[in-house]
Amino acid sequence: MKNNTIFYILFIFCLLACKQELPKLDQMHSHSHSRTDHHSYAQPDQAISKHLSLNLHANFKEKILSGEVIHTIQNNGASEIIFDVKNLVIESISIASKESENQLNYVKTDFTLGKSDDFLGQALHVKINENTTKVKIKYSTTDNASAVDWLDPIQTTDKQKPFLFTQGQAILTRTWIPCQDSPGIRVTYDAKLQVPSDLMAVMSAKNPQSRNENGEYNFIMEQAIPPYLIALAIGDLVFKPIGKRTGVYAEPSVIDKAVYEFADMEKMLIAAEELYGPYLWEQYDVIVLPASFPFGGMENPRLTFATPTILAGDRSLTALIAHELAHSWSGNLVTNATWDDFWLNEGFTVYFERRIMEALYGVDYVKMLTQLGIQDLNNQIKELGAESDDTHLKLSLKERDPDDGMTDIAYEKGCLFLMALEEEVGREKFDEFLKKYFSDHQFQTLTTEEFLEYLNRVLIQPEGVEIDIDAWVYSPGLPSLRPNVESNKFDLVEAFMGDKFKENNWTTKGTEAWSTHEWLHFIRSLPSDMDNTQASALDETYQFSKSGNSEIIAAWLEKSIYNGYYKNIESELENFLVNIGRRKFLTPLYKGLKNVGDLDLAKSIYTKARPNYHAVSSQTMDALLN
């Protein structure tokens, strides 16, 4: 009798539970929930690294990092632990176990390297026993450490001393540290770095603020982070504070410019906290790197790495700082479980970035950013093909370079999806949801499906939201029902342009207050078939090819390639391509030269420029030009 009742209650419960599950299952049919990371050999279920202890020497003469890493592991009784490595020299490996932990008696152990894959590198299989808690790997890097850029003095801004920086995302940390290089795995770390005594070292960790006479630096990162966020820079660096928790590192000649440019950093941090909860990393600094840095910015925790090309002199390119700062929540605190879920990092971050910018500079400013973003998105969809799987938010990067996922889809379609949700429930409810999302998942990783389950449970069901998840996340192109943003400031730019083009009669009067974004809209709006007389007149009036603003000159150079005017400004084009290594600028220019049939010029410039590029950029350009 009693048993029957329990059975009956259970039966009803199951029925109800199934009914509740229905809409979710319906929406997500056929989408796998797998957390398997196709871009790592690690088997975290067997044995997982929890902390790593680095002890490295930076040899600038040989351009080699060498020393050891000790992994503290959580061992589920495994007989081996697998790490990711790529182009490393493994000298020896030893292990220590629980019993011997007090005196840490390391004994040599066997290891084997798996077959090498172009993107992934190799699996490093290390023999352990069920008591093993520490694995010590002695190793050194090689010339082919794609993460590491070793710069000669001439390649730095001050041209006095050498420089080194690393770039870990997406799967490059394994080229300078043997580790379980998956975004679904989190480690704390400490590090000891020996560097030349006239240089200073900084990491994505608690950092020194002045140079140390003996060149030895010690670091601690107490919060658990995915290995792609372990980062190192070494150079002739100085530090200056901006606010209580914010500051800048740069080469001596750059520091004051950077302090001026990033004056609002502390305000950004406060605005971000007001939006989505406390900043959990204590300090937020930015290091301005030499021009070969292949990205605009990289959100290494506590220390964003940034390109010098955002130092426009008028603080107009600081949305990038807001972006990297926002990653302290979206990406670094709550991380994509695999690179197929990359939009969880970047789409949220673009949305968050614009909310920070709105808090500081107002809606009209952000409308410009959003409209430019939507333009980029539409162009990207055209380029990838409207039906391409690569235009889905949820990607499928198995057996491909995860770099292929770094398109405007993750960034701008991702952001647009969140804007659509915001439109549905209203800003207040949506902000509450995001704040809860970050706090419920802090220091965790999520797949797209786990996010959608959470979204469904916490927002869609309770608020009765009607949104076509399948169209946004698992379908190509853009849903027909989507937010659109038009900037009133851009309307003014168009009004200014008026008939001037027809008359070829240009003036700077009325443009004095324009920001970089208005200029970008102006240049993007120029007809692609304008002739040399028109291009010259424009260049004469606005001095685009002499612009010190990287965004403006890059947009102008691209335009000039397609209408032939570039032949008049070839030295400016070459100068830009040789001195700047930011891939976002390089790709459209080399691609443009290729498209208009001037592969010869592209190749001759590239021959000079290539030694200045980080591997991330040269790999992309190699593929484009060869």
Q: Catalytic residue positions?
A: 324, 411
Q: Which is nearer to Zn ion, 346 or 358 (CB)?
A: 346
Binders of ligand BES among 287-306, rule CB under 6 A? 295-299
Binders of ligand BES among 385-424, rule CB under 6 A? 406, 411
- Report the SS3 class of residue 49: strand
* Binding mask of the shown chain, residues 132 to 171, with x at each position contacting ligand BES by CB under 6 A: -------------------------------------xx-
- Interaction partner, residue 297 (ligand BES, Zn ion, none; CB < 5-8 Å by kind): ligand BES
Encoded tokens for 472: 């946004």
* Residue 320 contacts ligand BES per CB under 6 A: yes
Least distance between ligand BES and beta carbon 275 (Å): 17
CB 504 within 8 A of CB 534: yes
CB 48 within 8 A of CB 78: no
CB burial readout 547-567, b (16+ within 10 A) else e: bebbbbbbbbbbbbbebebbe
Least distance between ligand BES and beta carbon 323 (Å): 4
Binders of ligand BES among 548-607, rule CB under 6 A? 584
| Residue with token string 């560097």 | 195
**Contact region with ligand BES (CB under 6 A), list: 136-144, 254-262, 317-325, 517-525:** 317-325
592: which residues sit within 8 A by CB, 6+ positions away? 558, 561, 562
Least distance between ligand BES and beta carbon 193 (Å): 23
Q: Which is nearer to ligand BES, 227 or 296 (CB)?
A: 296
3-state DSSP: the chain helix, strand, coil percent, rounded to 5?
45, 20, 35
352 phi/psi in degrees, rounded to 5: -65, -45
How many Å apart are CA 388 and CA 408, to the nearest integer?
14
How many Å apart are CA 300 and CA 121, to the nearest integer?
23
Q: Which residues pair with 148 in a beta bridge?
A: 166
* Residue 327 contacts ligand BES per CB under 6 A: yes
- Report the SS3 class of residue 178: coil
Q: Which is nearer to ligand BES, 68 or 299 (CB)?
A: 299
**Contact region with ligand BES (CB under 6 A), list: 50-58, 141-149, 320-328, 606-614:** 320-328
Q: Which is nearer to Zn ion, 298 or 561 (CB)?
A: 298
- Interaction partner, residue 121 (Zn ion, ligand BES, none; CB < 5-8 Å by kind): none
How many Å apart are CA 248 and CA 348, to the nearest integer?
25
Output Rg (C-alpha) for the chain, integer angstroms: 26
Residue 216: which of 189, 239, 191 has the closest Cα? Answer: 191
Residues in the interface with Zn ion (CB under 5 A) total: 2
Residue 198: which of 53, 58, 306 has the closest Cα? Answer: 58
Per-residue 3-state assignment (H helix, E strand, C coil) for 207-261: CCCCCCCCCEEEEEEEEEECHHHCCEEEECCEEEECCCCEEEEECCCCHHHHHHH
Binders of ligand BES among 168-187, rule CB under 6 A? 169-170
Q: How do strand 88-97 and strand 232-235 relate by DSSP bridges? A: unpaired
Position among 186, 323, 517, 559 found at the interface with ligand BES (CB under 6 A): 323
Number of residues that make up the chain: 626
Least distance between ligand BES and beta carbon 199 (Å): 25
End-to-end CA gap in the chain: 78
Q: Which residues pair with 189 in a beta bridge?
A: 52, 221
Give residue number: closest CB to ligand BES: 296
490: DSSP letter? H
**Contact region with ligand BES (CB under 6 A), list: 156-164, 321-329, 474-482, 545-553:** 321-329
**Contact region with ligand BES (CB under 6 A), list: 322-330, 431-439, 481-489, 587-595:** 322-330
Least distance between Zn ion and beta carbon 390 (Å): 18
* Binding mask of the shown chain, residues 524 to 543, with x at each position contacting ligand BES by CB under 6 A: --------------------
Binders of Zn ion among 338-357, rule CB under 5 A? 346, 349
- Return residues touching ligand BES (CB under 6 A): 169-170, 295-299, 320, 323-324, 327, 346, 406, 411, 584
Residue numbers of the site for Zn ion (CB under 5 A)? Answer: 346, 349
